[in-house]
Amino acid sequence: MSAHAQAKITAEEYLDRERAADSRSEFYGGYVYAMSGGTWAHATLISNVARRLGNALDGTPCGVSSSDMRLEVAPRTMYTYADVMVIRGEPRFVDARKDAVTNPTVIVEVLSPSTEAYDRGFKAQQYRAIESLQEYALISQDQPRVEVYRRREGQWWLKDVVGLESSCRFESVNAAIPLSEIYDRISFEALAGPPRE
Protein backbone atom coordinates (compact mmCIF):
# COMPACT_ATOMS: atom_id res chain seq x y z
CA MET A 1 0.00 0.00 0.00
CA SER A 2 1.21 3.48 -0.66
CA ALA A 3 1.53 5.90 2.20
CA HIS A 4 -1.17 8.41 1.32
CA ALA A 5 -4.81 7.60 2.09
CA GLN A 6 -7.65 9.71 0.81
CA ALA A 7 -10.86 10.70 2.57
CA LYS A 8 -12.86 7.89 4.18
CA ILE A 9 -15.47 6.29 1.90
CA THR A 10 -17.80 3.28 1.92
CA ALA A 11 -17.02 -0.05 0.26
CA GLU A 12 -19.72 0.67 -2.32
CA GLU A 13 -18.12 4.02 -3.16
CA TYR A 14 -14.73 2.34 -3.49
CA LEU A 15 -16.09 -0.30 -5.87
CA ASP A 16 -17.86 2.34 -7.97
CA ARG A 17 -14.68 4.44 -8.21
CA GLU A 18 -12.42 1.46 -8.84
CA ARG A 19 -14.60 0.14 -11.64
CA ALA A 20 -14.35 3.50 -13.42
CA ALA A 21 -10.65 4.13 -12.69
CA ASP A 22 -7.72 3.77 -15.08
CA SER A 23 -5.41 2.68 -12.27
CA ARG A 24 -5.86 0.22 -9.41
CA SER A 25 -6.06 0.85 -5.71
CA GLU A 26 -6.67 -1.14 -2.54
CA PHE A 27 -9.25 -0.48 0.14
CA TYR A 28 -9.09 -0.99 3.87
CA GLY A 29 -11.37 0.31 6.60
CA GLY A 30 -12.83 3.11 4.50
CA TYR A 31 -9.57 4.34 3.00
CA VAL A 32 -8.22 3.97 -0.53
CA TYR A 33 -4.53 3.29 -1.18
CA ALA A 34 -2.92 3.72 -4.60
CA MET A 35 -0.95 0.74 -5.89
CA SER A 36 2.48 1.26 -7.38
CA GLY A 37 3.73 -0.42 -10.53
CA GLY A 38 5.99 -3.45 -10.44
CA THR A 39 9.34 -4.36 -11.96
CA TRP A 40 10.00 -6.63 -14.92
CA ALA A 41 11.16 -9.40 -12.55
CA HIS A 42 8.01 -9.03 -10.44
CA ALA A 43 5.76 -9.25 -13.52
CA THR A 44 7.73 -12.21 -14.91
CA LEU A 45 7.40 -14.17 -11.66
CA ILE A 46 3.64 -13.53 -11.56
CA SER A 47 3.30 -14.63 -15.18
CA ASN A 48 5.40 -17.75 -14.63
CA VAL A 49 3.42 -18.84 -11.57
CA ALA A 50 0.01 -18.13 -13.12
CA ARG A 51 0.90 -19.96 -16.35
CA ARG A 52 2.48 -22.97 -14.64
CA LEU A 53 -0.35 -23.29 -12.11
CA GLY A 54 -2.90 -22.97 -14.90
CA ASN A 55 -1.19 -25.74 -16.85
CA ALA A 56 -0.90 -27.97 -13.76
CA LEU A 57 -4.59 -27.48 -12.95
CA ASP A 58 -5.91 -27.95 -16.49
CA GLY A 59 -8.83 -30.39 -16.41
CA THR A 60 -9.48 -29.87 -12.68
CA PRO A 61 -12.26 -27.82 -11.02
CA CYS A 62 -9.71 -25.09 -10.21
CA GLY A 63 -9.30 -21.72 -11.89
CA VAL A 64 -6.25 -19.43 -11.80
CA SER A 65 -6.37 -15.65 -11.76
CA SER A 66 -3.55 -13.13 -11.88
CA SER A 67 -3.44 -9.65 -10.41
CA ASP A 68 -6.30 -8.25 -12.51
CA MET A 69 -8.95 -9.88 -10.32
CA ARG A 70 -10.05 -7.98 -7.22
CA LEU A 71 -10.28 -9.91 -3.94
CA GLU A 72 -12.66 -9.09 -1.11
CA VAL A 73 -10.53 -10.07 1.86
CA ALA A 74 -13.02 -8.98 4.52
CA PRO A 75 -16.65 -8.14 3.67
CA ARG A 76 -17.06 -4.40 3.02
CA THR A 77 -13.75 -3.75 4.82
CA MET A 78 -10.78 -4.83 2.68
CA TYR A 79 -10.28 -5.23 -1.07
CA THR A 80 -6.95 -5.95 -2.72
CA TYR A 81 -5.36 -7.54 -5.79
CA ALA A 82 -3.36 -10.68 -5.04
CA ASP A 83 -0.59 -11.47 -7.51
CA VAL A 84 -2.01 -14.95 -8.23
CA MET A 85 -5.08 -16.76 -6.87
CA VAL A 86 -6.43 -20.27 -7.32
CA ILE A 87 -10.13 -20.86 -6.76
CA ARG A 88 -11.29 -24.44 -6.36
CA GLY A 89 -14.80 -24.94 -7.70
CA GLU A 90 -17.07 -22.08 -8.68
CA PRO A 91 -15.87 -18.57 -7.88
CA ARG A 92 -18.06 -16.58 -5.51
CA PHE A 93 -18.40 -12.90 -6.31
CA VAL A 94 -19.27 -9.81 -4.30
CA ASP A 95 -22.04 -8.87 -6.73
CA ALA A 96 -23.38 -9.34 -10.25
CA ARG A 97 -20.44 -7.43 -11.77
CA LYS A 98 -18.27 -10.52 -11.12
CA ASP A 99 -15.11 -8.45 -10.70
CA ALA A 100 -14.33 -9.23 -7.04
CA VAL A 101 -14.02 -12.78 -5.71
CA THR A 102 -14.40 -13.95 -2.13
CA ASN A 103 -13.25 -17.59 -2.07
CA PRO A 104 -9.60 -18.18 -3.00
CA THR A 105 -8.06 -21.52 -2.06
CA VAL A 106 -4.47 -20.43 -2.78
CA ILE A 107 -2.97 -16.93 -2.80
CA VAL A 108 0.52 -16.20 -4.11
CA GLU A 109 2.35 -12.90 -3.56
CA VAL A 110 5.69 -11.96 -5.11
CA LEU A 111 7.75 -10.09 -2.53
CA SER A 112 9.13 -6.64 -3.33
CA PRO A 113 11.42 -4.54 -1.12
CA SER A 114 8.70 -1.87 -0.79
CA THR A 115 5.88 -4.31 0.14
CA GLU A 116 7.61 -7.26 1.84
CA ALA A 117 6.84 -6.18 5.42
CA TYR A 118 3.19 -5.54 4.47
CA ASP A 119 2.86 -8.89 2.59
CA ARG A 120 4.40 -10.81 5.50
CA GLY A 121 2.62 -8.90 8.24
CA PHE A 122 -0.71 -7.13 8.01
CA LYS A 123 -1.77 -8.52 4.62
CA ALA A 124 -0.88 -12.10 5.61
CA GLN A 125 -2.87 -11.71 8.82
CA GLN A 126 -5.91 -10.51 6.88
CA TYR A 127 -5.56 -13.27 4.27
CA ARG A 128 -5.41 -15.97 6.97
CA ALA A 129 -8.90 -14.93 8.10
CA ILE A 130 -10.39 -15.88 4.69
CA GLU A 131 -12.37 -19.03 5.40
CA SER A 132 -11.70 -20.69 2.03
CA LEU A 133 -7.94 -20.01 2.01
CA GLN A 134 -5.78 -23.11 2.49
CA GLU A 135 -2.35 -21.93 1.29
CA TYR A 136 -0.54 -18.59 1.11
CA ALA A 137 2.79 -18.47 -0.76
CA LEU A 138 5.46 -15.77 -0.73
CA ILE A 139 7.93 -15.76 -3.62
CA SER A 140 11.33 -14.14 -3.19
CA GLN A 141 12.75 -12.08 -6.05
CA ASP A 142 16.41 -12.16 -5.01
CA GLN A 143 16.86 -15.92 -4.51
CA PRO A 144 15.05 -19.12 -5.57
CA ARG A 145 12.85 -19.41 -2.49
CA VAL A 146 9.12 -19.90 -1.95
CA GLU A 147 7.53 -19.92 1.49
CA VAL A 148 4.23 -21.80 1.53
CA TYR A 149 1.97 -21.35 4.56
CA ARG A 150 -0.62 -24.13 4.87
CA ARG A 151 -3.72 -24.31 7.04
CA ARG A 152 -3.91 -27.57 8.97
CA GLU A 153 -6.41 -28.22 11.74
CA GLY A 154 -6.89 -24.52 12.36
CA GLN A 155 -3.18 -23.65 12.44
CA TRP A 156 -0.79 -22.31 9.82
CA TRP A 157 2.40 -24.24 9.05
CA LEU A 158 5.37 -23.08 6.98
CA LYS A 159 7.05 -25.12 4.25
CA ASP A 160 10.21 -23.37 3.01
CA VAL A 161 11.19 -24.42 -0.53
CA VAL A 162 14.70 -23.34 -1.57
CA GLY A 163 16.85 -23.91 -4.67
CA LEU A 164 16.17 -24.21 -8.39
CA GLU A 165 16.28 -28.02 -8.13
CA SER A 166 13.34 -27.97 -5.67
CA SER A 167 9.64 -28.11 -6.42
CA CYS A 168 6.87 -26.08 -4.79
CA ARG A 169 3.79 -28.14 -3.96
CA PHE A 170 0.33 -26.69 -3.40
CA GLU A 171 -1.35 -29.52 -1.52
CA SER A 172 -4.82 -27.97 -1.41
CA VAL A 173 -5.13 -28.13 -5.22
CA ASN A 174 -2.77 -31.07 -5.82
CA ALA A 175 -0.32 -29.15 -8.00
CA ALA A 176 3.45 -28.80 -8.03
CA ILE A 177 5.74 -26.40 -9.88
CA PRO A 178 9.53 -26.71 -10.10
CA LEU A 179 11.28 -23.57 -8.88
CA SER A 180 13.27 -23.66 -12.12
CA GLU A 181 9.97 -22.89 -13.91
CA ILE A 182 8.86 -20.26 -11.40
CA TYR A 183 12.22 -18.48 -11.86
CA ASP A 184 12.45 -18.96 -15.64
CA ARG A 185 14.01 -15.81 -17.22
CA ILE A 186 14.96 -14.38 -13.80
CA SER A 187 18.57 -13.20 -13.38
CA PHE A 188 19.53 -13.04 -9.71
CA GLU A 189 22.72 -11.15 -10.58
CA ALA A 190 20.66 -8.36 -12.18
CA LEU A 191 18.38 -8.19 -9.13
CA ALA A 192 21.31 -7.93 -6.75
CA GLY A 193 22.38 -4.55 -8.13
CA PRO A 194 25.91 -3.18 -8.31
CA PRO A 195 28.58 -4.54 -5.96
CA ARG A 196 28.95 -2.66 -2.69
CA GLU A 197 32.33 -1.56 -1.39
Q: What is the pLDDT of residue 2?
A: 46
Per-residue pLDDT of the chain (197 residues; tens, 9 = 90+): 444 546 899 999 999 999 999 889 999 999 999 887 789 999 999 999 999 999 999 999 999 998 889 999 999 899 999 999 999 999 999 999 999 999 999 999 999 988 899 999 999 999 999 999 999 999 999 999 999 999 999 899 999 999 999 999 999 999 999 999 999 999 987 555 555 44
pTM of structure: 0.91
Give the residue extent of every domain in the chain. Answer: 38-192
- Is 172 in contact with 136 (CB distance < 8 Å)? no
Q: What is the pLDDT of residue 193?
A: 52
CA 79 to chain centre: 12
For the beta carbon of residue 10, count every other beta carbon within 10 angstroms.
11
Q: What is the pLDDT of residue 190?
A: 55
Could you give the CA distance from residue 29 to residue 65 in angstroms, rounded to a whole number? 25
Could you give the CA distance from residue 147 to residue 162 in angstroms, rounded to a whole number? 9
Could you give the CA distance from residue 18 to residue 197 in angstroms, rounded to a whole number? 45
Taking alpha carbons only, the member of 83, 99, 23, 100 closest to residue 47 is 83
Q: What is the pLDDT of residue 15?
A: 95
CATH superfamily of the domain spanning 38-192: tt1808, chain A (3.90.1570.10)
Beta carbons within 8 Å of 175's beta carbon, 6+ residues apart: 53, 56, 57, 62, 86, 169
For the beta carbon of residue 71, count every other beta carbon within 10 angstroms.
22
